[in-house]
């Protein structure tokens, strides 16, 4: 059996998901709901290994103190750490925030670059953060890949990759152009509602006839799906 769906099948999966899922969330919060690229980057850094509500609490507290790289560098490490404590790993994240702001000012005059390469060259910014900023702040047609999108894509056969970053590259190469704008939303909603981490709802799944995981495992191992 093939490891990946062919392009016609990939397009069919996106067509089905575009009809079955609600689409773009207008009230996105966290890194996706920030008013500018700087705050989106910082919020994304805060979100690492943190629940959405804790990230939001930390971001609110930090942005009450500073909303520009220059103002952020005026803060003491202890003040940054205290503000972002709710999202965990606060000492490491404080170091990343400081390094990010210093590099942003030194290399870009404080302006967040609008390319993936430029974003990923900044301390603390990986592919997922870069793609979220590109998509949600700069309006680029990019499918940002988080843990839900990574899982769903690899189960269905849209991608075959061990890491979310490789899944993102494969999606970029294989998804139809028309799906790049809102594909992130369809996949993430599908991953939360249907193709859940444990016990995916294969019996009610609109793409089960195309899904490679389902073709291999059927319903026998749903509770152990990876
Ligand atoms: S058939 Fe099951 S594993 Fe495949 S996409 Fe649907 S819910 Fe996920």
Calculate the CA dihedral of residues 208, 141, 174, 203 and round it to 10 degrees: -10
* pLDDT (0 to 100) of residue 100: 98
Tell me if 210 sits within 8 A of 13, measured CB to CB.
yes
- Out of 3.40.50.1980, 1.10.3210.10, 1.20.140.10, 1.10.340.30, select the CATH number for domain 35-136: 1.10.340.30
Cβ of 213 less than 6 Å from ligand 1 = yes
Give domain limits for the chain.
7-25+143-224, 35-136
Residue nearest to atom 2 of ligand 1 (CA): 202
Give the active site residues. Answer: 128, 146
191 lines ligand 1 (CB under 6 A): no
C-beta 207 within 6 A of ligand 1 = yes
112 lines ligand 1 (CB under 6 A): no
**pLDDT tens, the chain, 226 aa long:** 788 999 999 999 999 999 999 877 656 666 777 889 999 999 999 999 999 899 999 999 999 999 999 999 999 999 999 999 999 999 999 999 999 999 999 999 999 999 999 999 999 999 999 999 999 999 999 999 999 999 999 999 999 999 999 999 999 999 999 999 999 999 999 999 999 999 999 999 999 999 999 999 886 555 445 5
- CA 217 to ligand 1 center in whole angstroms: 10
Q: For Cα atoms 64, 67, 72, give the angle at the middle one, nearest 5 degrees.
A: 95
Q: What is the pLDDT of residue 30?
A: 62
Provide the CATH topology of domain 7-25+143-224. Endonuclease Iii, domain 2 (1.10.1670)
Across 32-56, b (16+ Cβ under 10 Å) vs e yields: bbbeebbbbbbbbbbbbebeeebbb
| Position in ligand 1 atom list of the atom nearest CA 202 | 2
Topology agreement, domain 7-25+143-224 and domain 35-136: no
Q: Please work out whether the CB of residue 116 comes within 6 Å of at least one atom of ligand 1.
A: no
Looking at residue 219, its pLDDT comes to: 61
Q: What angle do CA 61, 67, 69 make, to 5 degrees?
A: 120
Ligand 1 centre to CA of 144 (Å) is: 20
2, 9, 73 from 208: Cα distances, Å: 16, 12, 51
**ipTM tops 0.95:** yes
């Amino acid at each position: 059996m093939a490891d990946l769906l062919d392009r016609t099948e990939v397009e069919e999966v996106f067509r089905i998901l575009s009809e079955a899922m609600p689409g773009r969330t207008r009230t996105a919060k966290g890194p996706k709901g920030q008013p500018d690229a700087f705050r989106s980057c910082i919020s994304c850094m805060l979100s690492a290994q943190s629940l959405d509500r804790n990230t939001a609490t930390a971001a609110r507290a930090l942005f009450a103190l500073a909303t520009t790289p220059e103002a952020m560098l005026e803060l003491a490490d202890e003040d940054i750490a205290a503000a972002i404590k709710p999202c965990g790993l606060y000492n490491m994240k404080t170091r990343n925030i400081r390094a990010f702001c210093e590099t942003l000012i030194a290399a870009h005059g404080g302006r967040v670059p609008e390319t993936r390469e430029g974003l990923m060259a900044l301390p603390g910014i990986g592919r997922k953060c870069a793609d979220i900023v590109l998509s949600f702040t700069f309006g680029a047609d990019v499918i940002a890949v988080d843990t839900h999108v990574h899982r769903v894509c690899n189960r269905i056969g849209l991608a075959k990759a061990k890491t979310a970053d490789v899944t993102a590259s494969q999606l970029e190469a294989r998804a139809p152009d028309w799906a790049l704008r809102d594909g992130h939303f369809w996949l993430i909603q599908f991953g939360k509602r249907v193709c859940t981490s444990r016990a995916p709802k294969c019996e009610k799944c609109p793409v089960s006839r195309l899904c490679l995981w389902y073709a291999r495992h059927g319903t026998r191992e749903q509770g152990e799906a990876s």
